[in-house]
Structure 1
Amino acid sequence: MRVIIAGGGTGGHLFPGIALAESLMGKYPEAQIIFVGTPKGLEAKVIPKIGYELSFISIQGFVGKSFSEKAKSLKSLLKSMFESKNIINSFAPDIVFGVGGYASFPVVLAAFLKKIPTIILEQNTVPGLANKLLGKIASAVAITYPETIEYFPREKTYLTGTPIRRKILEGNKEKAKKLFDIEEGRITILILGGSLGARKINKAMTEGLSYLLPLKNRIQIIHQTGEADYNWVSNEYKNLSFRATVLPFIYDMVEAYSVADLVISRAGASTVAELTAIGKASILIPYPYAAYNHQEMNARRLLSRGACELILDRELNGEVLVKKINKILNKPEIMKEMEMASLAFGKPYAGEKIIEIAESLLRRKR
């Protein structure tokens, strides 16, 4: 099987694509897979590290841009259509997956024009512009939430969930203890600001350290800061002598999850899918500028099931964050209930369901 996975830009689009690739390789070890994205997207850093082939196209963002930037985006679309056509002609895929983001649009469209089966993945309740348009021409649409079906043709839309990397379910705690300098017997808090970090979360956590002093000897922290905030966040932990492993980006997220007792994070679709697949208690802080406010929608779904605590970005500060942490850590039964509710919400086999849809499309084509 020859497969193109197109899209990315952010972890919310890229990581479901990586998860899908892993599921494909698990079922078809001889499969050939290439990713298509942009040089500026997260895929440019991540994909080479995990060993998949990566091709670039010139597409630029359109939504939320100025008039002149939109004009440049439309010009880049024409160039990207030509580039996508060349990639498809050279690689000759059996099927093309679009995982969201503007980089998926020209590749899926070029595949459609060549009558190659296509599947798009929609991780959020309200699809972005690329998927809204692609939903009209894609062979199938894989959605995460039931409400999303109203945006796509019902006859080719499937409720699958968001693919997660299989390794998320197989974290090695012994390896994690060495990687993150974990001390047995302490509660481990994992802080994620998304693939690029989140200054608001970084500031709230460091502001909250003085409120956390009574818990200092009970907890340890793994904190992904993003490149820009790494130095000053590291210094804040050192100044108050907290046991903390601070990193610009966590490449070994599987192991980080495996030792985390509580996760503090944005509420992107991939993060929510991973947290619920492994049943983690969490404090979710939705990114307020996400398209269609989808992160708050994601978080409120978990909150309604008792699977998380929620803090809106505009209400976030050190004191508010620490109150939520204390609420969970000081009552073990609350954490246990959150873990069980989180696990019940998860869909750990979304990737396998999407592969079944792909197989059906390929059989129909033959």
Structure 2
Amino acid sequence: MKEGGPVKIIIAGGGTGGHLFPGIALAEEFMKNRKADKIIFVGTDHGIEASVIPREGFTLEFVRAEGLVGKSIYKKIRAAFYLLLAMVDSCRIIRKYRPDMIVGSGGYASFTTVFAGLFLTTPTLILEQNSRPGLANRILGRFADMVCVAYHESISFFPKNRTYLTGNPVRERVLRGSRVSALKLFGLDENKFTVLVFGGSHGASSINKAMIDALKYLPDMRTHLQFLHQTGEKDYEFVRNAYRNSGFSGMIVQFIFQMAEAYAVSDLVVSRAGATTLAELTAIGKPSILIPYPYAAGNHQELNARKMEQMAAAFMIIDRELNGRKLADMIRELYTNEKVRKTIQQNSLALGQRHAAEKVFALASSLLSRKSESSV
């Protein structure tokens, strides 16, 4: 790579928004600072990236990968077979584009692409979003040129001389969402208190059901509250009909592509506690009710949510304790008690890492420069 010349970057990862969106945040930072850069995303055809990346305007390549964790013996054997296919696909993609760097942001596609990059001596960087890294990143982190972590607790899992505490990259548009545009986009009432509800990129049945059950405990608030609810595909009809029958207004959708506007228009967020969601919530200081996913690796969602609760930066309900009445009580308190709401907002903002993408970009640029100098 020549100094100041065009740079080709592969960003591998996805499956869920939690793995994909930090990669997009970094891609935006590269494009903003190096206009001639070509960004290639690598993912799977069944992950969220298949629908999101084309809308972002980046090149997308697929590998044939499946998860190994929490599957039956048959599915693990099948996944192992696809792992080999994904390795072949990854080598093909790397040879096709000859990237200057490979960034792994987590997910099925990340492991084989970064591993192949190591084998082909391409500079590699890993983004670790969680306080307790998964097995794939723990393995890759031993050999990657750089590891960027979101939590101090993650540092001990990786080589200290190549690990940097940067925070979790957040897309710039999330920081600059327009409430006025969002009101028009979602058809919402500017005079009502807006509750944004989502359970991750694929939805969450327990949150969907609890939210619908909560409505019957809030009948006196029909004229004060409105909802923007991402259901996922499975529960969409059920949730939409339930809102109609309850008399509450709002917008019910399977998936929200315009999350920046969704955050901008919301006064309160009800969501899971994935690392990327928390990074976005704290970057913009949104009051939230966190419902950690109970089967997250190492129980990291509950650990992260509990930390926020202890710092008065969020409310939390454990999934097994989730019910409509408890959720309704918290929504009511956060609507009626402006002092509590503002305290949570301030504490949440204090935890935010708004410049994480810039930090990762600076480190990536230094790695590219070092590799360029060593090749001269």
SS at the partner of 1:99? strand
Whether the aligned pair in 2 keeps the contact of 1:97 and 1:121 (CA below 8 Å) is: yes
From 180, 205, 210, the equivalent of 1:204 is 210
Q: Which residue of 2 aligns with 1:11?
A: 17
Q: Which residue of 1 aligns with 2:296?
A: 290
SS at the partner of 2:60? strand
Q: Which residue of 2 aligns with 1:336?
A: 342
Q: Which residue of 2 aligns with 1:313?
A: 319
Residues 151-172 of structure 1: CA deviation (Å, up to 9, x unaligned): 1111100000111110011111
Residues 21-54 of structure 1: CA deviation (Å, up to 9, x unaligned): 1111111121100100111111112111221111
Q: Please tell me whether residue 261 in structure 1 is matched to residue 249 in structure 2.
A: no
Kindly report the root-mean-square deviation, in angstroms, between the aligned alpha carbons of the 2 structures.
1.0
Name the CA distance, whole Å, in 2 between partners of 1:240 and 1:78: 51
Whether the aligned pair in 2 keeps the contact of 1:188 and 1:260 (CA below 8 Å) is: yes
1:233 is aligned with what amino acid? V
SS at the partner of 2:61? strand
From 4, 8, 23, the equivalent of 2:29 is 23
Name the CA distance, whole Å, in 2 between partners of 1:212 and 1:7: 41
Q: CA deviation at 1:299?
A: 0.6
SS at the partner of 1:55? strand
Counterparts in 2 of 1:152-171, with a 5 A limit? 152-171=158-177
Q: Please tell me whether residue 128 in structure 1 is matched to residue 134 in structure 2.
A: yes
From 36, 39, 47, the equivalent of 2:42 is 36
Residues 36-73 of structure 1: CA deviation (Å, up to 9, x unaligned): 01111111121112211110111221122222322222
Deviates more, 1:134-143 or 1:60-69: 60-69
Task: Report the count of equivalent residues.
Answer: 366
Q: Please tell me whether residue 187 in structure 1 is matched to residue 193 in structure 2.
A: yes
Deviates more, 1:141-150 or 1:236-245: 236-245
Name the CA distance, whole Å, in 1 between partners of 2:140 and 2:97: 21
SS at the partner of 1:336? helix
Q: Please tell me whether residue 215 in structure 1 is matched to residue 197 in structure 2.
A: no
Whether the aligned pair in 2 keeps the contact of 1:124 and 1:294 (CA below 8 Å) is: yes
Q: Please tell me whether residue 97 in structure 1 is matched to residue 116 in structure 2.
A: no
1:36 is aligned with what amino acid? V
From 122, 132, 141, the equivalent of 2:147 is 141
SS at the partner of 2:127? strand
From 124, 132, 153, the equivalent of 1:118 is 124
Name the CA distance, whole Å, in 2 between partners of 1:235 and 1:155: 55
Deviates more, 1:278-287 or 1:320-329: 320-329
Q: CA deviation at 1:236?
A: 1.0
Name the CA distance, whole Å, in 1 between partners of 2:107 and 2:256: 22
1:74 is aligned with what amino acid? A
Name the CA distance, whole Å, in 1 between partners of 2:136 and 2:45: 19
Q: CA deviation at 1:127?
A: 0.8
TM value normalised by structure 2: 0.96
Counterparts in 2 of 1:204-243, with a 5 A limit? 204-243=210-249
Whether the aligned pair in 2 keeps the contact of 1:189 and 1:219 (CA below 8 Å) is: yes
Name the CA distance, whole Å, in 1 between partners of 2:294 and 2:107: 18
SS at the partner of 2:107? coil
From 307, 326, 341, the equivalent of 1:301 is 307
SS at the partner of 1:270? helix
Name the CA distance, whole Å, in 2 between partners of 1:355 and 1:184: 37
Whether the aligned pair in 2 keeps the contact of 1:101 and 1:128 (CA below 8 Å) is: no
Q: Please tell me whether residue 46 in structure 1 is matched to residue 52 in structure 2.
A: yes
**How much identity, in percent, do the aligned residues show?**
51
Name the CA distance, whole Å, in 2 between partners of 1:365 and 1:27: 19
Whether the aligned pair in 2 keeps the contact of 1:285 and 1:312 (CA below 8 Å) is: yes
Q: CA deviation at 1:278?
A: 0.3
SS at the partner of 1:175? helix
TM value normalised by structure 1: 0.98
Whether the aligned pair in 2 keeps the contact of 1:63 and 1:129 (CA below 8 Å) is: no
Name the CA distance, whole Å, in 2 between partners of 1:283 and 1:267: 9
